[in-house]
Amino acid sequence: MAIVADYRNLSVIVPAFNEEGGVQQTLEALKKNLPNAEIILVDDCSTDNTPEMAKKVDGVHILRHRFNRGYGAALKSGMVSSNREHIAWFDADGEHRTEDLQAMFKLLEERSLGAIIGRRQVKGQQKVRFYGKLVLRLWARLLGLRLDRDLNCGLRVFHKEAILPYLNMLPDRFSASTTSTMIMLEKKYPIEFFDIRTNPRIGHSKVRLRHGFETILNIFRISMIFAPLRIYGTLGAVLVVIGFVYGLGMALTVDKGFPAFALVVLMAGFFLLAIGAIADQISRWQLSAAGSHSLDLRRTPLAEPDGKH
């Protein structure tokens, strides 16, 4: 007898804003292919027929924001009301395939991972988006993070303990996906990227250029929360080295002692290092409170060493 996979351990959160074209089909596919999963549609105060279309599918929990709050806010509302151990994010526009979600969930459970993040193919992507994503990756790299190809794919699955303690760090808008990737990496949770295929979206895209700028700002914000010493420390060390080398060079070659300018640069470097050390203490203190529920996850025997991220 064939064993039918059971998804009673999983909540699927579907954020939707004006997705009357794709929402019914998306929910039907989830109901059919993920039996017993809890499916939560968060309608972000759509102005079209999204709620009516969603109601046509039985057994879906529908939450509705009273005003439009954004993609990240919708995901947070859904996650807070989820009752299962694992949480998936799944777009309402028909773009994601349930086969991919099934495979990702299986892997997450089998390997006790903190998260699995979808990785879309670069081929066929709009040029603008391709370069936008490149800028995001370079920016993250500059801040000391080696990120994989796709930071902000909307299809991902988490162990609840890996994401719930950080809900207040997730922004309300589109950068919630990039931010959640960074949180997983900064917390050194065992995670994997998983190659997925996507269908063309049904209906209009909601992504705008300003969302890219918001994301750049949020990458910086998260780095400051998790690893302030990396930013202040690098900048401080660079200034100290410049000040010292320049000052010493001038003192030895031009016979007028250590120049004042070099001293100022040196001092600025030391100040930045000191600020970094204090910020680091504050950050550790804050994060130990936020992440204390997640410690078990880090000790799971199947957890991968995270050196490869």
Residues forming contacts to ligand GTP in the complex (CB under 6 A) are 15-17, 19, 42, 44, 68, 70-71, 74, 91-93, 95, 154, 201, 205-207
Nearer residue to ligand GTP within complex by CB, 13 or 143: 13
The answer to whether 231 and 221 are in contact (CB under 8 A) is no
Q: How far apart are CA 95 and CA 154, in angstroms?
A: 10
**From candidates 19, 38, 43, 93, binder to Mg ion by CB under 5 A:** 93
DSSP SS3 for 64: strand
- The reply on whether position 91 binds Mg ion by CB under 5 A is yes
Please count the residues of this chain forming the interface with Mg ion, following the rule CB under 5 A. 4
Residue 192's binding partner out of ligand GTP, Mg ion, none, with CB under 5 to 8 Å set by partner kind: none
Minimum gap (Å) between residue 73 Cβ and ligand GTP? 7
**93-117 as b/e, with b when 16 or more CB fall inside 10 Å?**
bbbbbbebbeebbeebbeeebbbbb
In the complex with ligand GTP, the residue whose CB is nearer, 63 or 235, is 63
Label residues 149-182 b or e (16+ Cβ within 10 Å = b): ebbbbbbbbbbbbbbbbbbebbbebbbbbbbbbb
Report in angstroms how near the CB of residue 206 gets to Mg ion at its nearest.
Answer: 8
Q: Which does 100 bind (CB under 5 to 8 A by kind): ligand GTP, Mg ion, none?
A: none
Tokens coding 281: 């203490």
Q: How far is the CB of 154 from ligand GTP (least distance, A)?
A: 5
Rounded distance between C-alpha atoms, residue 171 and residue 107, angstroms: 27
Only one of the segments 54-62, 199-207, 230-238, 259-267 lies at the binding site for Mg ion (rule: CB under 5 A); that segment is: 199-207
- Which residues here bind Mg ion, judged by CB under 5 A? 91, 93, 95, 201
